[in-house]
């Protein structure tokens, strides 16, 4: 397990910008004690859509938004819930510990693009993905 706080944590990395554009370091594996045997992947969330609503028993995940805006819904097994907005213009990295139900929602009119790291590679024979609604009763930020 990493030194990130369970069941979840938000960190705001430094954002560097100059006339060429912007840069932020999503994860520094050694400095942040992130296990380096997983996979990095990206996915999009269409306007008005919700993805996820599951948890993992073994896998840790980190999420950041690189285009658009997304709301990350999180629920711990003791009933704690939180909704955290991520956007490309205000960088943040969300950590989701094993057992934390999570979903990502796009309430905006343009797609949201997420880059994620999972501490374990996806195995179709052992998907470690269990359906569970994240933040039950959440009705939206708007």
pLDDT tens-digit map of 93-141: 999 999 999 999 999 999 999 999 999 999 999 999 999 999 999 999 7
pLDDT at 133: 97
- Mean pLDDT across the chain: 93
Dihedral (C-alpha) 93, 95, 96, 102: value to the nearest 10 degrees? -10
Bond prior to 7 in cis (omega within 30° of 0):
yes
At 7-51, the pLDDT tens digits run 999 999 988 888 988 888 898 888 888 888 899 999 999 999 999
- Considering the segment(s) 8-13+33-122 as one domain, its CATH architecture is Sandwich (2.60)
pLDDT at 102: 98
Q: Model-level pTM? A: 0.89
Q: Cα–Cα distance between 67 and 84 in angstroms, integer?
A: 16
Q: Cα–Cα distance between 73 and 38 in angstroms, integer?
A: 23
């Amino acid at each position: 397990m990493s030194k990130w706080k369970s069941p979840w944590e938000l960190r705001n990395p430094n954002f560097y910008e100059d006339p060429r554009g912007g840069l932020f370091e999503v994860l520094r594996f050694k400095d942040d004690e992130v296990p380096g045997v997983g996979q990095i992947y990206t996915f999009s969330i269409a306007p008005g859509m919700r993805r996820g609503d599951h948890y993992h028993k073994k896998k840790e995940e980190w999420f950041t938004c690189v285009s658009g805006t997304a709301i990350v819904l999180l629920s711990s097994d003791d009933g704690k819930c939180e909704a955290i907005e991520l956007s490309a213009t205000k960088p943040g990295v969300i950590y989701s510990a094993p057992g934390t139900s999570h979903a990502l929602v796009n309430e905006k009119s343009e797609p949201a693009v997420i880059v994620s790291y999972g501490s374990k590679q996806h195995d179709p024979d052992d998907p470690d993905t269990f359906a569970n609604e994240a933040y039950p009763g959440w009705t939206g930020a708007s």
